[in-house]
Amino acid sequence: MPSVVELVQSLVNGIGIGLIYGLIAIGFCVIYNASGIVNFAQGVFVMLGGMFAHTILTHYGLPIWLSAVLATILVAGVGVLVQIFVINPMWRRNAPLFAIILATLAVQLLIEQVVILTLGDQPRTYPEFTSGGPLKIGPIAVGYQLFWVLGCGAVMVFSLQQFFNRTRMGRALRACAQNREAAALLGVPVERMLIVAFALSSGLGAAAGILITPTQYTAYMVGGPFGINGFIAAIIGGFGSPPAALIGGIFLGVIQSEAIVFFGAGFKNIISLTLLLVVLLLFPNGLFGGLTKRA
Amino acid sequence: MTSLSITSPKPAARAARARLDWFQIGLLAVCGLLTTGALIYGGYLLTVFQLAMIYGIFCIGLNFFMGYTGQASFGQNAFACIGGYGSAILCVQYGWEPALALIASMVVAGVAALLIGYPTLRLRGHYLAMATFSLGLITYDISIQWTSLTQGYMGYAGIPPLGIAGFEIESERWKLVALAALLGFAFWISQRMRDSRFGRGLRAISGSENGAAALGIRVPRFKLIAFVIAALYASAAGSLFAHTVGFISPEVFGPQMAIITFTMLYVGGVGTMIGPIVGAIVASVLPEIFRSVGKFQDIAYAVVLLGMLIYAPKGLSSLGKLFRPRKKEEA
């Protein structure tokens, strides 16, 4: 039986990784709500965020904040390219759902291979944003990076909420989510909104990747697991509002790290995927979507 | 169009017995010629085509569930995993006959599919895709973690080749012939089922679930049966893989397999009769062609796949239809 300290420590770690899952989950939701497409290549943006930030930081010697901003913008650009060259043609041709899913998986493969060719396949990391050892609260260690994740996550969720509720473009996005045809009739440029959604969601993924890289590492293949966990978090949150997705992510992160304490690291994925199945079967609208039975 | 086939069952039933057009026959002939070529040429090509045959069997099953019934399963590799490990464990640990082990693991996979499918198939769309995908991932993780049963990353080596009653197929050439024959047999069974009352019911479901239910088709039961059939095919493919290669490890049945087979099905044409076979052969040969491109191989593969998905979403076997009046697709 693990000690209390171990449990609390894993809880803290779980919240840290869970916030990252939450940010990725928000990215899923933004695209899904605007277009009804689940972008399974979402994880690749997380990886690109970390890789780009590292490259800019080490090769051009820019300060970390500038590298982070530049990397986020670059990855958002990649997201727009994916939308224009892959998703939009399929969307216009009314491609079936699963063909689009497969296309996003192919995009993931493509980007990963391009990254191997251009940036190499070595894992890499960079120092935490604020140097200095972990903050000790009694026997519990809290890394400074966790506070960065927490702060940035809060800022991003808050500004997204404002964006969706206050700005014209955010409202147009929500209109597309509710009824695409009606939105188009009212003069909302739906395809342009899709581009905005992709830019937003890939930027969010990149931010998550930039924030998590100092505590872990990044390499070309980290995208897949991040994408899957982000998707699980999105389903737990119910594909609804950004805060719900964030909470879903934290929930998943905590459960995963407790599972590591109780069952060992190998069972991390088994537990989280089982959790996904349970949520899908019992609460198809997510834990915060009410108990209505509708898949 | 749908209303027509509902109100007039007789012509619809006749039309449902789809015939191969000349383009498709040509494709099949090319695939047959390629296989014969590999058979004569020998060497490494034999292995490529052996795997293509196995994937073809897998895809025929997948096509049942995805093509005809219109559902999605990204997790069929779970059942291939059951088949492969079932064969490996029964043959290596307990010294069973390969053919007997194949059938026994098919039974296990079928029962597993029944138990898993019953709750899972209530889901739709992305949710079903993700639930089945996670099934595949869970099985993959279990096959790594449950070392006492599966030997983890070590895998199983020394699995006897396919054979029956003490007679074993040792030669690589004969293995390919046997696999091609099995593929033909699997195709024939799937063909018979496709044109049966059951198969027509499945295709009605893919057209409209409500419409099918209104016609008295028990939608959940039909879906479940299609899922089990797909699982049986997958398990057989997994067993055949184990017997053909002689070694299995968890990576063989990882999520990669789900994506590869999905690609094959889409390249060949989902919901077409010969799609799975053509797709399996083309998608197996394609990477070998691109191998000369060296490290750009995967990139080329992804680009070709994307191009296919965008410009020929119904796959190779329907390219012949491009020259005929097009029907409006439902999203």
Q: Measured on CA atoms in the order B232, B238, B240, B243, is the torsion positive or negative?
A: negative
A5 has pLDDT over 60: yes
Rounded to a whole number of angstroms, the distance between the first and last alpha carbons of chain A is 38
> What distance in Å separates the CA atoms of residue B139 and residue B145, rounded to the nearest whole number?
10
A80 has pLDDT over 90: yes
Residue A294 belongs to a domain: no
A104 has pLDDT over 70: yes
Residue A295 belongs to a domain: no
Q: What is the Cβ-side half-sphere exposure of residue B146, based on CA atoms within 13 angstroms?
A: 11
A66 has pLDDT over 50: yes
> What distance in Å separates the CA atoms of residue A73 and residue B99, rounded to the nearest whole number?
58
Q: What is the per-residue pLDDT across B212-260, written as a single tens digit (0 to 9) for each?
A: 888 888 888 888 999 999 999 999 999 999 888 888 888 888 777 877 8
Q: Say how many residues make up chain A.
A: 295
Mean pLDDT of A119-148: 77
Residue B2 belongs to a domain: no
Q: What is the DSSP string of A212-236?
A: HTTTS-B-TTSHHHHHHHHHHHHHH
The residue of chain A nearest to residue B120, with distances taken between CA atoms, is A281
> What distance in Å separates the CA atoms of residue A137 and residue A235, rounded to the nearest whole number?
34
Tell if the CB–CB gap between B299 and A110 is shorter than 8 Å: yes
Nearest alpha carbon to residue A216 among A5, A67, A13: A13
The residue of chain A nearest to residue B262, with distances taken between CA atoms, is A102
Tell if the CB–CB gap between A107 and B301 is shorter than 8 Å: no
Residue A165 belongs to a domain: yes
Determine the structural domain holding residue A274 and report its residue range: 4-282
> What distance in Å separates the CA atoms of residue B27 and residue B55, rounded to the nearest whole number?
17
A2 has pLDDT over 80: no
Residue B163 φ/ψ, nearest 5 degrees: 180, 175
**In whole angstroms, what separates CA B101 from the centre of its chain?**
20
Tell if the CB–CB gap between B131 and A99 is shorter than 8 Å: no
A229 has pLDDT over 80: yes
Q: What's the number of domains chain A is made of?
A: 1
Could you tell me which residue, B33 or A134, shows the higher pLDDT? Answer: B33
> What distance in Å separates the CA atoms of residue A253 and residue B209, rounded to the nearest whole number?
37
> What distance in Å separates the CA atoms of residue A226 and residue B223, rounded to the nearest whole number?
32
Residue B6 belongs to a domain: no
Do A105 and B259 form a contact (C-beta atoms < 8 A)?
yes
Q: Which residues of A touch B130 (CB under 8 A)?
A: 38, 231, 235, 276, 280
Residue A62 φ/ψ, nearest 5 degrees: -80, 155
Residue B170 belongs to a domain: yes
Could you tell me which residue, A288 or B328, shows the higher pLDDT? Answer: A288
Residue A158's domain is classified under what CATH number?
A: 1.10.3470
A34 has pLDDT over 50: yes
The pLDDT of residue B12: 43
Fill in the DSSP letter of residue B94. T
Determine the structural domain holding residue B199 and report its residue range: 22-321
The residue of chain A nearest to residue B269, with distances taken between CA atoms, is A99
Q: Copy the structure tokens of residue A268.
A: 């991390």
> What distance in Å separates the CA atoms of residue B61 and residue B235, rounded to the nearest whole number?
10
Residue A290 belongs to a domain: no
Could you tell me which residue, A286 or B85, shows the higher pLDDT? Answer: B85
Out of A90, A110, A235, name the one closest to residue B303 (CB). Answer: A110
Residue B130's domain is classified under what CATH number?
A: 1.10.3470
Give the containing element (helix H, strand E) for A258. helix A242-263
Tell if the CB–CB gap between A107 and B145 is shorter than 8 Å: no
Residue A288 belongs to a domain: no
Q: Residue B69 in 3-state DSSP?
A: coil
ipTM over 0.95 threshold: no
Q: Which residues of A touch B129 (CB under 8 A)?
A: 38, 97-98, 101
Alpha-carbon gap: B306 to the closest alpha carbon of chain A (Å): 6
The pLDDT of residue B20: 67
What residues does A140 pair with on adjacent strands?
A: A137
> What distance in Å separates the CA atoms of residue B159 and residue A3, rounded to the nearest whole number?
45
Out of A90, A114, A266, name the one closest to residue B309 (CB). Answer: A90
The pLDDT of residue A294: 40
Q: Are strands A140-142 and A135-137 parallel, antiparallel or unpaired?
A: antiparallel
Out of A94, A102, A113, name the one closest to residue B309 (CB). Answer: A102
Alpha-carbon gap: A90 to the closest alpha carbon of chain B (Å): 5
Residue A293 belongs to a domain: no
Instruction: Report the percent of chain A where pLDDT is more than 70.
Output: 95
Q: Say how many residues make up chain B.
A: 331
Q: Measured on CA atoms in the order A159, A163, A164, A165, is the torsion positive or negative?
A: positive
Q: What's the number of domains chain B is made of?
A: 1
Q: What is the per-residue pLDDT across A233-276, written as a single tens digit (0 to 9) for each?
A: 888 887 767 788 888 888 888 888 888 888 877 777 778 788 88
Do A161 and A243 form a contact (C-beta atoms < 8 A)?
yes
Q: Copy the structure tokens of residue A206.
A: 């990149």
Stretches in chain B below the pLDDT threshold 70? 1-20, 164-167, 293-294, 318, 320-331
Residue B3 belongs to a domain: no
Residue A291 belongs to a domain: no
Tell if the CB–CB gap between A109 and B298 is shorter than 8 Å: yes
Tell if the CB–CB gap between B72 and A90 is shorter than 8 Å: no
